Structure 1
Amino acid sequence: MAKRSFLVVRKRRSFQFLVKRKLRDLKKIVPGSPVDMDIDTLLRTTAEYICYLELQVVVLRKISVICGM
């Protein structure tokens, strides 16, 4: 029984480590996100950045159609 609970704790720790590592990587990618930003704000900032990038793609596609490229 002790081995099983140890494995559950170990898997949970590895999952938590994976999530923390992914959040740290996300903070590096999203501009304007300080190191001490909480998760909610980070995810909201990430969503806004994605919308901004999608808008840039739309504008650049329209410009390319206008310019005939």
Structure 2
Amino acid sequence: MKLYRLLTGQDDAAFCHRVTDALNKGWSLSGSPSLTFNAQTGQVIAAQAIVKEVEGKDYHPDLKLSEQ
């Protein structure tokens, strides 16, 4: 089964650490990152899709993707 997550957050070191942590847990980047600007807060927001293949599991909406 293939799992999908979209990581989002302020474009800062904490966001990069979240992506790095996911990569070290077996997730892979899927496509290019996206950036947008929140004019109300003055922050740049980043998004990165990640995917992971897992065996022996069936998809269910209650599956905690961040724990895979």
TM-score (norm 1): 0.27
Q: In terms of Rg, which structure is larger?
A: 1
Query: Which structure is higher in RCO with an 8 Å CA cutoff and minimum separation 6?
Result: 2
From the two aligned structures, give the one with the greater strand fraction.
2
